[in-house]
Structures are given as C-alpha cells and as structure tokens.
Amino acid sequence: MLQEDNNIPFFELLGNLQAREDALKKIAGKINDKERVLDLATGSGYLVRNLIDKDAFVVCLDMDVGPLIKTKKELPDLHFVVADARNLPFKNTSFDYVVTWSALVHIEDWKDVVRESFRVSNKMLTAEPHGAYCVRAFRDFRCMHNHPEVKEIKKEFETYGRTSVESGEFITIISTEN
C-alpha cells in the first residue's frame, strides 16, 4: 500500500488538475481518426471529453448508470454502454484501442479488467493517479481496497505485450507499445 503524505495539502493536489488535463490530452493524441475506441469506467467523462474532436468511434462504458446518463447528455455523439468492465459485452478485437483514466485503481479485480481489455483490443492505455494524489482521492472517496501500484499494472500489461510507462508527478500513463 502507498503511504499517505499528510504534508501535501489538498488544494495543492487540486492545483495539479492541470497535470490531469495534460495527461488526458496526451492520451487523446495517441488515438487516430477512424479508430474504434472503448473508454472504460467513463464516469464523469473527463477523458472522453478529450476525444470528441477526433473522428473516432468512441464507446463509453461504466457500470454506474448515474454519471453515464449525465455524461451522455453532455456528449450525445458518443455511444454509451452500462456494463461491468470485468466482463465486457463485446466480441474479441472489437476495438482498436481501450483507454482508461483513473479506473484500475478503483476496481478491486483490476486484472480482470486488463484481461478483458486485451481480449477486445490489442492496444490498451491507462492513466492512473499515484502517490499522494491517489491516496488522497481514495480517502475522500472512501475506497478501501488495496489499489494496485503502477509497477503491478505494468507487470500485468507486460503479459500481453511490450509496455511503456510515462510517469508524471501525480499521474502515470501505462500503455502497450504497438
């Protein structure tokens, strides 16, 4: 488990929302026009908002219908599915890319999500908060399970192919290299 760093006040973490926006833009930059993209655990849609200018076919999936309905109202051109990311309702290799932001750290059975992602696509990219940002978020959202460390996620990705990691101060992007 990560240790909480009480020396970092929450407003400082909020200040790093810019780091989040930069990371999400970076993800969007990896998506090519015409690609079929699955955004797992869409929630409030911070990541997919960065994809709307792409000429891509974007499917948003979350198992919580509430935030998904709200996001759908704001982004009516995208496609929305209520489902469990651990058991995706899609055929093998249905997508060119699976992307996620702040998803795996919230899902106890995250390895099942990675396995399902690599079943429906050959490429996956996840951006996860880490360090104090992550621990603080978990405390605030009362999420109690032992969320994975970046190195564990990387190791799991590597069982599916070459993997690269770009670490920022609060956010790490883990993605397949192909």
Ligand X SMILES: C[S@@+](CC[C@H](N)C(=O)[O-])C[C@H]1O[C@@H](n2cnc3c(N)ncnc32)[C@H](O)[C@@H]1O
Secondary structure class of 167 (helix, strand, coil): strand
User: For ligand X, which residue has the nearest CB?
Assistant: 43
Nearer to ligand X, 106 or 123 (CB): 106
Q: How far is the CB of 43 from ligand X (least distance, A)?
A: 3
Nearer to ligand X, 137 or 157 (CB): 137
Q: How far is the CB of 66 from ligand X (least distance, A)?
A: 8
CA angle, residues 62, 14, 7, in degrees to nearest 5: 120
Rg value, the chain, Cα: 15
Q: How far is the CB of 90 from ligand X (least distance, A)?
A: 13
Q: How far is the CB of 81 from ligand X (least distance, A)?
A: 10
Nearer to ligand X, 26 or 86 (CB): 86
Nearer to ligand X, 29 or 162 (CB): 29
Q: Which residues bind ligand X (CB under 6 A)?
A: 41-47, 62-64, 67, 84-86, 101-103, 106-107
Cα atoms found within 13 Å of the Cα of residue 71, Cβ hemisphere only = 26
What is the C-alpha to C-alpha distance for residues 147 and 35, in angstroms, rounded to an integer?
Answer: 30
Nearer to ligand X, 32 or 44 (CB): 44
Closest CA to 68 of 96, 95, 45, 38: 45
Q: φ and ψ at 152, to 5 degrees?
A: -70, -40
Q: How far is the CB of 174 from ligand X (least distance, A)?
A: 15
Contact partners, residue 152, CB within 8 Å, separation at least 6:
none
DSSP state of 105: G
Secondary structure class of 40 (helix, strand, coil): strand
